Amino acid sequence: MLSKLGYNSMDAFVDEAVPPKIRIPTDAISNKAIGPLSEAELLMRARLLGVENRPFKSYIGMGYHNAVVPTVILRNVRIPGDCEE
């Protein structure tokens, strides 16, 4: 598939597709850079990362504001108080 796209290798494809400033250097990932953790150390690391979480208000399901809803959708929506049955 890479040859169909005009690339000789996966490295050539990645070099062109992924901008250099967002890549992780290959020497950053090694057994020396990422040491083993005990279960207690891993749990502590997870707690430290969890403290950084911040709650935000979710607007999922809040509906639309000033939106034009197509009639094909509106015909299947019941409006409270509508007497048509």
Q: pLDDT tens, position by position, for the chain (85 residues)? A: 888 989 999 989 988 999 988 988 877 777 776 778 899 999 999 999 999 998 888 777 666 667 777 788 777 776 666 555 5
Number of domains in the chain: 1
What local confidence, expressed as pLDDT, does residue 47 receive? 95
**Greatest CA separation for the chain:** 71
In a domain, 33, yes or no: yes
In a domain, 14, yes or no: yes
In a domain, 62, yes or no: no
What local confidence, expressed as pLDDT, does residue 60 receive? 72
Distance CA 45, CA 75 (A): 53
Q: Is the dihedral of CA 53, 56, 60, 61 positive or negative?
A: positive
Distance CA 26, CA 69 (A): 50
In a domain, 48, yes or no: yes
In a domain, 79, yes or no: no
CA atoms within 13 A on the CB side of 65: 3
In a domain, 26, yes or no: yes
What local confidence, expressed as pLDDT, does residue 35 receive? 79
What local confidence, expressed as pLDDT, does residue 8 receive? 92
In a domain, 77, yes or no: no
Residues 82 and 75: beta-carbon distance below 8 Å: no
What local confidence, expressed as pLDDT, does residue 57 receive? 82
